[in-house]
Chain A
């Protein structure tokens, strides 16, 4: 197990290197930041001056090596646009994204598993059919449409929930501001979390239901029924526990995606998270922010994957990694 983890961590570093290299390669085609940074009326000479001050006059590999050297010391430079250290900019935004992703994850995990179990009990009842049809919508509707529809229904027509933003936040530690502790913050969280978690919810629901239907046919379940165990114990302890392995894997993999790719949801709800920052930065050709963001999310996704592998082993001791 230990050797496996070490190997995985070593692989992660290679992935991070590759990711940063790809970012740098893409920057060559992303447009020239100097044109805006020197100002609208700058002469060519002044533009060159800015290019030199940014080190962009140097060849590609020199720039890349300099970046790696600084990054190794935790220095990702200043944002071209805000002129603020990039890491500060991203860490300031990350809490919002994490809170949104965690809420979306919990919503989809609990609702998905619960509805999946319910619909597997009596698979042909009208209630189950409604749930299954609903899950089809969750899978097939694109996120931006779900978001816009939710805003239209709950914010504009019914006026029960706010249409955008994060509401009132409270500072907890350092730069971590949370919306969990205020009513206004929670109200603002509902719609974007639902939007972000909708697809996940549908996937987990269908996965749970499929697994449950199968598990309920298995010999061990039948034995459990025959022993006269209560429905609760059979369902949860025998059937569901076996079903959970693939569900947890998928949920975990998607957790990373929820943080990294909440861009669409964040931009629809003007959620001040890191996805929103990435989008603005791409629009403003703010290279240092883009590369740091991509590397940090790659790191998050990699870490989560390693944790999932470990969790796997705990959930099912039969699995080993040697």
Chain B
């Protein structure tokens, strides 16, 4: 009898526990939870220059300037700015701003931040930008107007300031680098609450924000790296917004009645670099055109990318200075390609080695395979060599590739800066052509770039960069553009969440709201 009672009690306990365990509770909605594919790496705002990290710390910190969802440059900690001469930039600072620890924001913080950018690991990944800055000084003793002087004429200087986050001098100097990497103190619209690495980052609205407190009280960011789990996270409503729907599972998400899917062309373009050193078949412009025309980009988008990409005709994207809407892709025309190859002296094609990453861009390895089979149709035999990015990028750094794939977008929205890094002839000392994987060299293009760097007037300079872009893409076929990737988001319906994706893929909570 006693045993039976015990058994019954045990049974009840189990049933009760299971009952409690299976209740899933959702409190009243004052929190937005966003799932992202890549975890934030550090809370040191200069410790990573990747967008998945910048886009997160942008909630806690602010730069002198900021960008809205479409990429337009707007004032932030500076209320206005101008380029005084080739080397000098003047900023009027915002008064009455406080850091989250109560310290006042002053010009000394700006000076301190700009100097901090120059300190290598473990402090800053902005060495190149920091190295440009000569001095930060007040103008006529007014602590709210500062002049920043650069070493060389740097036309894109202001274009980069949305990602150079201002730190509090006092608390940064007094704390260890480990603490700075875990407990951020900024001026931004959200205060740091808790960061459990690999699990979540919790933020709370900064009620004293200079632009008024943000509309959403609590914000949470959860990294979910595994694609199928990421889809499960939004399908079950565990998160409100999902960034980066895996292309393989896109249709599953799109069919789900609870979810709204938002997509936009990504800033990142995927393109192919080609060696043009004399003696290589690809140094002949006809061969470059032939390869361009032999690639069926529509097929790649449809079959490889499952429709989730947009053809591109140049490296930069529309908001970038130097983008030219007038540049068009060469048509897909394998017959013409064969004819051009014959004219160039390769009627039977040739062999070429292709090097590319297999874990960096969306379906990068499959794109390479598609390219190889398309080029084979005009007689070009492609030897595929795809490898992990950790091996690929150091190889690219040697500048010895014949034919390679790269994805690119410019964080500072400036094609001049991209060009210097990607296609300028390699000059290690001057820092040119660091990612020029095949040592591409065109004196004419180099000259055009150098001419543009000296133009102070932004409008004129934009013209010059557009010209550079047009000559590089249309006359020189400096690269073969493929497509822009697609940024995709899923939003859980019925929770009143308003969310607009940003061109830079940053997750900026102050732009979101919840309808009550």
Residues of A within 8 A of B (CB): 29-32, 35-46, 49-50, 53-54, 78, 80-85, 88-89, 92-93, 148, 151-152, 155-156, 159-166, 169, 177, 183, 186-187, 190, 267-273, 276-277, 279-280, 284-285
Q: Say yes or no for B198: interface residue by CB 8 A criterion.
A: yes
Mask of B225-244 contacts with A, CB within 8 angstroms, 1/0: 11011001101101000000
CA distance A50 to B130 in the complex (A): 14
How many residues of B sit at the interface, in one of the four size bands?
A: 35 or more
Task: Determine the residue in chain A with the shortest Cβ distance to B53.
Answer: A81
Instruction: In the complex, identify which listed stretch (B142-150, B390-398, B466-474) lies at the interface while the others stay far away.
Output: B390-398
Q: Say yes or no for B41: interface residue by CB 8 A criterion.
A: yes
Q: Identify which of B22, B39, B131, B223 contacts A46 (C-beta below 8 A).
A: B131
Write out the residue numbers on chain A whose beta carbons fall within 8 Å of the beta carbon of B331: none
- Could you tell me if B229 and A151 are in contact, using CB atoms closer than 8 angstroms? yes
- B228 shortest CB reach to chain A, Å: 5
- Could you tell me if A41 and B434 are in contact, using CB atoms closer than 8 angstroms? yes
Interface set, chain B 73-122, CB cutoff 8 A to A: 120-122
Contact A78-B126, Cβ < 8 Å, known A155-B232, A162-B238: no
Q: Say yes or no for B284: interface residue by CB 8 A criterion.
A: no
- B5 shortest CB reach to chain A, Å: 20
Q: Identify which of B49, B122, B197, B236 contacts A89 (C-beta below 8 A).
A: B197
- Could you tell me if A31 and B434 are in contact, using CB atoms closer than 8 angstroms? no
Task: Determine the residue in chain A with the shortest Cβ distance to B176.
Answer: A85
- Could you tell me if B121 and A39 are in contact, using CB atoms closer than 8 angstroms? no
- Could you tell me if B232 and A156 are in contact, using CB atoms closer than 8 angstroms? yes
Write out the residue numbers on chain A whose beta carbons fall within 8 Å of the beta carbon of B122: 78, 80, 83
Write out the residue numbers on chain A whose beta carbons fall within 8 Å of the beta carbon of B24: 159, 162
CA distance A32 to B181 in the complex (A): 22
Q: Say yes or no for B48: interface residue by CB 8 A criterion.
A: yes
Q: Identify which of A31, A43, A92 contacts B128 (C-beta below 8 A).
A: A43
- B229 shortest CB reach to chain A, Å: 5
- Could you tell me if B21 and A183 are in contact, using CB atoms closer than 8 angstroms? yes
- Could you tell me if A39 and B42 are in contact, using CB atoms closer than 8 angstroms? no
CA distance A268 to B228 in the complex (A): 8
- Could you tell me if B428 and A44 are in contact, using CB atoms closer than 8 angstroms? yes
- B14 shortest CB reach to chain A, Å: 13
Interface set, chain B 391-436, CB cutoff 8 A to A: 391, 393-394, 397, 411, 417, 421, 428-431, 434
- B251 shortest CB reach to chain A, Å: 15
- Could you tell me if A84 and B178 are in contact, using CB atoms closer than 8 angstroms? yes
Contact A35-B394, Cβ < 8 Å, known A40-B49, A270-B229: yes
Q: Identify which of B121, B228, B391 contacts A53 (C-beta below 8 A).
A: B121
- A269 shortest CB reach to chain B, Å: 7
Interface centre among B22, B232, B235, B397 (most CB of A within 10 A): B232
Q: Identify which of A40, A50, A83, A84 contacts B411 (C-beta below 8 A).
A: A40
- Could you tell me if A83 and B434 are in contact, using CB atoms closer than 8 angstroms? no
Write out the residue numbers on chain A whose beta carbons fall within 8 Å of the beta carbon of B178: 78, 83-85, 88
Q: Which 9 A-B pairs have the closest CB atoms?
A: A31-B390, A43-B431, A272-B199, A272-B198, A41-B128, A39-B125, A163-B232, A83-B181, A44-B428
Task: Determine the residue in chain A with the shortest Cβ distance to B178.
Answer: A84
- A44 shortest CB reach to chain B, Å: 4
Task: List 24 contacting pairs A-B, 8 Å CB cutoff, sorted by A.
Answer: A31-B394, A35-B394, A39-B127, A40-B411, A41-B431, A45-B428, A53-B120, A53-B121, A78-B177, A83-B42, A83-B44, A83-B123, A85-B178, A92-B197, A155-B236, A160-B22, A162-B238, A163-B229, A163-B233, A177-B196, A187-B22, A267-B226, A284-B41, A285-B390
- Could you tell me if A42 and B434 are in contact, using CB atoms closer than 8 angstroms? yes
- Could you tell me if B225 and A45 are in contact, using CB atoms closer than 8 angstroms? no
Q: Say yes or no for B20: interface residue by CB 8 A criterion.
A: yes
Besides A39-B125, A80-B121, 20 new A-B residue pairs in contact (Cβ under 8 A), listed by A number: A32-B393, A38-B120, A50-B120, A78-B177, A81-B41, A81-B42, A81-B48, A82-B41, A82-B47, A82-B197, A84-B181, A156-B235, A162-B238, A163-B236, A163-B238, A186-B21, A270-B224, A272-B197, A272-B199, A280-B225
Write out the residue numbers on chain B whose beta carbons fall within 8 Å of the beta carbon of A183: 20-21
Q: Identify which of A159, A165, A186, A268 contacts B222 (C-beta below 8 A).
A: A165
Write out the residue numbers on chain A whose beta carbons fall within 8 Å of the beta carbon of B199: 165-166, 270, 272
Q: Say yes or no for B250: interface residue by CB 8 A criterion.
A: no
- A116 shortest CB reach to chain B, Å: 22
Task: Determine the residue in chain A with the shortest Cβ distance to B129.
Answer: A41
Task: Determine the residue in chain A with the shortest Cβ distance to B23.
Answer: A183
Contact A35-B125, Cβ < 8 Å, known A162-B236, A164-B238: no
- B9 shortest CB reach to chain A, Å: 20
Q: Identify which of A45, A85, A151, A160 contacts B431 (C-beta below 8 A).
A: A45
CA distance A32 to B389 in the complex (A): 10
Contact A164-B229, Cβ < 8 Å, known A82-B42, A156-B235: yes
CA distance A169 to B126 in the complex (A): 36
Write out the residue numbers on chain B whose beta carbons fall within 8 Å of the beta carbon of A78: 122, 177-178
CA distance A13 to B225 in the complex (A): 35
- Could you tell me if B232 and A152 are in contact, using CB atoms closer than 8 angstroms? yes
Q: Say yes or no for B511: interface residue by CB 8 A criterion.
A: no
- Could you tell me if A37 and B125 are in contact, using CB atoms closer than 8 angstroms? yes
Mask of B158-201 contacts with A, CB within 8 angstroms, 1/0: 00000000000000000001101110000000000000111110
Task: Determine the residue in chain B with the shortest Cβ distance to A89.
Answer: B197
Contact A39-B224, Cβ < 8 Å, known A80-B121, A93-B198, A159-B236: no
- Could you tell me if A267 and B236 are in contact, using CB atoms closer than 8 angstroms? no
CA distance A164 to B425 in the complex (A): 48
- A29 shortest CB reach to chain B, Å: 8
Q: Say yes or no for B388: interface residue by CB 8 A criterion.
A: yes
- Could you tell me if A187 and B21 are in contact, using CB atoms closer than 8 angstroms? yes
Write out the residue numbers on chain A whose beta carbons fall within 8 Å of the beta carbon of B229: 148, 151, 163-164, 268-270
Write out the residue numbers on chain A whose beta carbons fall within 8 Å of the beta carbon of B226: 267-268, 270
CA distance A165 to B200 in the complex (A): 9
CA distance A152 to B226 in the complex (A): 14
Q: Identify which of A31, A38, A186 contacts B388 (C-beta below 8 A).
A: A31
- Could you tell me if B225 and A270 are in contact, using CB atoms closer than 8 angstroms? yes
Write out the residue numbers on chain B whose beta carbons fall within 8 Å of the beta carbon of A42: 127-128, 431, 434
- Could you tell me if B393 and A31 are in contact, using CB atoms closer than 8 angstroms? yes
Write out the residue numbers on chain A whose beta carbons fall within 8 Å of the beta carbon of B429: 43-45
- B165 shortest CB reach to chain A, Å: 14
- Could you tell me if B127 and A276 are in contact, using CB atoms closer than 8 angstroms? no
CA distance A44 to B224 in the complex (A): 35
- B175 shortest CB reach to chain A, Å: 12
- Could you tell me if A272 and B196 are in contact, using CB atoms closer than 8 angstroms? yes
Q: Identify which of A53, A152, A277 contacts B197 (C-beta below 8 A).
A: A277
- B230 shortest CB reach to chain A, Å: 8
Write out the residue numbers on chain A whose beta carbons fall within 8 Å of the beta carbon of B39: 280
Write out the residue numbers on chain B whose beta carbons fall within 8 Å of the beta carbon of A151: 228-229, 232
Interface centre among A42, A80, A169 (most CB of B within 10 A): A42
CA distance A53 to B48 in the complex (A): 17
CA distance A145 to B157 in the complex (A): 50
CA distance A81 to B50 in the complex (A): 11
CA distance A92 to B128 in the complex (A): 34
Task: Determine the residue in chain B with the shortest Cβ distance to A273.
Answer: B198
CA distance A276 to B39 in the complex (A): 11
